[in-house]
Amino acid sequence: MRTDDWTTPLAWNRVHRYRQRVLEVPRGLSAVPETSGSVLPRGFGHSYGDSCLNADNTLLDTRGLNRILSFDPETGVLHCEAGVTIGAVQRYATPYGWRLAVSPSTGLASVAGSVAHDVHGRNHIFAGSFGHHLLEIELMRSDGRRRLCGPGADDQLFRATVGGMGLTGLITTVKLQLRPVKSSFINVETHCHTDLSQLMAHIDATADTHEYATAWLDLVGRQTFRGVLEIGNEGPGERSFPQDRFQPRVPFDLPRLCVNRPHMHAFNLAYFRLCGRKKPGRVSYQKYLYQMDSLGDWNRLLGRKGFYQYHFLIPAAAVPDGLPRLLDAVRSSDNVAVLAILKRYGPSAAPGMMSFPVHGVGGAFDFVNRGERTLRLFHELDELMIELGGRVYLAKDSALDPGTFKLMYPQWTAFREFVDPRFSSSLWRRVTGEEP
Ligand SMILES: Cc1cc2nc3c(=O)[nH]c(=O)nc-3n(C[C@H](O)[C@H](O)[C@H](O)COP(=O)(O)OP(=O)(O)OC[C@H]3O[C@@H](n4cnc5c(N)ncnc54)[C@H](O)[C@@H]3O)c2cc1C
């Protein structure tokens, strides 16, 4: 179906309201559609920033490309169309004893969207990022050519497309290597900490023993530190046939004023106490990996004007000095971090030119959109990141300026050589300062 009307599809953070044309990509498309202006492929719009937006231009909606084309239960090789969701792959493969080696914390992202941001999960230290498990990508370029690329085949185009933010062409199909699993469950433990250095030492101590690790932080209280480390391993047990779970949805935008420091303080205290009482236990992979999907449209809880996420990564050598400085900057700011998560990143070489992960510690902090006030904090944090040699994740970004982007991703000039001349995005124009 083709529509020539302007609409305002949003990114997950709901900050930008841009007019865009949306073309649904039909199965069997033979060429990139002719449009005035540029095109950008789009999956489920689960990127937090403008990497999935193309203001005043066209989006190619790939959600209809939703078929699993083949699966070999002996080898775990799965071939699917671009718009198949992460959750659908998991539900399909789990009963055969296979799952994605790497998954973001949502099952509602598409496979191609996960390639395009080279997404990572809570197990980066064990499994690397999404691109490490790709065997082949089929890419449609605007010159009419279909290119098959993968590790060892058109290697440079492959490295540009993994983490390439949809700018190297339209991904039509993806071949993936899944990992074998014994069960549908993950064994999980939670540990409460009131000291950052102890929490970090605990994270380090689990690097060889626990595949999954994330830490929740309370950055609202200015005096006391509170953190909860959640660690886990794939569990033994039976393999079930996972079903689509009932998902209640947030029906309206919560007024922004509800998300204030006293409310968040009370919430965080209650959450910390609750975690202190949790016993180690077995949790279904869906509940563990996709906790955030259990409440549909939860982004509406953060108000009509949306929210910003600061998703950063500090290289390992700079963590002892840099992380406390970053947390202090957030805690002393007049912006409230409504959710703050830390993750560890392993030393594996990044599969994509523009991939985000490097060896170190990263985090994702959510802030209600308070306009300039929030952006001032982000620019302050950006300056610290530059000093520490860190970077911001482009899948979550809405605020980087061109100077900062070019310092964080100096490889952008090599990447630019692979950008298809008809493809562009709001993010790309913002961070490069270039028009298509
Ligand atoms: C609740 C939640 C939790 C998340 N957790 C994580 C996490 O743990 N780790 C992580 O890394 N990310 C995480 N993310 C981010 C998310 O996984 C990525 O932004 C992912 O790219 C979203 O996929 P999508 O299908 O919604 O793509 P979109 O957001 O629609 O697009 C993302 C990018 O993919 C490109 N793209 C989409 N389809 C194609 C195609 N067919 N061909 C070429 N390019 C294409 C787009 O052009 C765009 O640049 C999370 C997001 C949410 C909402």
- Which of 15, 42, 130 is the pocket-test mutation for ligand 1 (most atoms within 8 Å of CB)? 42
Q: Is the CB of 46 under 6 A from ligand 1?
A: yes
How would you class 163 by CB atoms within 10 Å of its CB: exposed for 0-12, middle for 13-18, buried for 19 or more?
Answer: buried
Q: Is the CB of 157 under 6 A from ligand 1?
A: no
pLDDT > 90? residue 258: no
Angle of helix 372-388 versus helix 319-331 axis, rounded to 10: 170
**Residues 6+ away with beta carbon under 8 Å from 50:** 11, 16, 18, 398, 425, 426, 427, 430
| Residue the block writes with tokens 């990564």 | 313
- The answer to whether residues 388 and 279 touch, using CB atoms and an 8 Å cutoff, is no
- pLDDT value, residue 222: 73
Q: Is the CB of 117 under 6 A from ligand 1?
A: yes
pLDDT > 80? residue 358: yes
- The answer to whether residues 323 and 134 touch, using CB atoms and an 8 Å cutoff, is no
| Residue the block writes with tokens 């001032």 | 376
- pLDDT value, residue 221: 80
- Residue ID of nearest Cα to ligand 1 atom 35: 166
Q: Is the CB of 131 under 6 A from ligand 1?
A: no
Averaged pLDDT, 85-107:
97
Q: How far is the CA of 402 from the centre of ligand 1 (A)?
A: 22
How many other C-beta atoms are found inside a 10 Å radius of the C-beta of residue 233?
16
Out of 107-116, 249-258, 382-391, 403-412, least confident range: 249-258
Q: Is the CB of 71 under 6 A from ligand 1?
A: no
Q: Is the CB of 43 under 6 A from ligand 1?
A: yes
Q: How far is the CA of 428 from the centre of ligand 1 (A)?
A: 15
C-alpha–C-alpha distance, residues 161 and 355, integer Å: 10
Q: What is the mean pLDDT of the chain?
A: 94
Nearest partner of 94 among 83, 104, 103, 82, judged by Cα:
103
Averaged pLDDT, 65-73:
98
In the DSSP assignment, the letter for residue 25 is: P
C-alpha–C-alpha distance, residues 238 and 139, integer Å: 38
Confidence of residue 130 (pLDDT cuts 50, 70, 90): very high
C-alpha–C-alpha distance, residues 154 and 114, integer Å: 20
Helix and strand counts by DSSP (H, E) for the chain: 12, 19
pLDDT > 80? residue 273: yes
Confidence of residue 259 (pLDDT cuts 50, 70, 90): confident
Number of Cα atoms under 13 Å in the Cβ half of residue 324: 9
- Which of 47, 139, 294 is the pocket-test mutation for ligand 1 (most atoms within 8 Å of CB)? 47
Show the beta-strand stretches assigned E in 348-399: 360-368, 391-392
Averaged pLDDT, 158-186:
97
pLDDT > 80? residue 137: yes
Q: How far is the CA of 174 from the centre of ligand 1 (A)?
A: 15
Give the CA dihedral 9, 10, 15, 21, nearest 10 degrees.
-30
- pLDDT value, residue 135: 98
- The answer to whether residues 246 and 318 touch, using CB atoms and an 8 Å cutoff, is no
Which residues make beta-bridge pairs with 138? 148, 173
C-alpha–C-alpha distance, residues 275 and 193, integer Å: 11
Q: Is the CB of 165 under 6 A from ligand 1?
A: yes
137: helix, coil or strand? Answer: strand
Return the percentage of the chain with pLDDT > 90, whole number: 87
Averaged pLDDT, 91-103:
96
In DSSP notation, 69-126 reads: EEEETTTTEEEEETT-BHHHHHHHHGGGTEE-SS--S-S-SBHHHHHHTT---TTHHH
Chain segment 226-247, per-residue pLDDT in tens: 999 999 999 877 777 676 667 7
How would you class 11 by CB atoms within 10 Å of its CB: exposed for 0-12, middle for 13-18, buried for 19 or more?
Answer: buried
Q: Is the CB of 171 under 6 A from ligand 1?
A: yes
Between β-strands 20-24 and 58-61, what pairing exists: parallel, antiparallel or unpaired? parallel
Averaged pLDDT, 300-322:
96
Averaged pLDDT, 399-407:
98
Q: How far is the CA of 355 from the centre of ligand 1 (A)?
A: 13
Q: Is the CB of 312 under 6 A from ligand 1?
A: no
Rg (CA), the chain: 21
- Which of 62, 86, 119 is the pocket-test mutation for ligand 1 (most atoms within 8 Å of CB)? 119
Q: Is the CB of 40 under 6 A from ligand 1?
A: yes
| Range among 141-150, 259-268, 275-284 with highest mean pLDDT value | 141-150
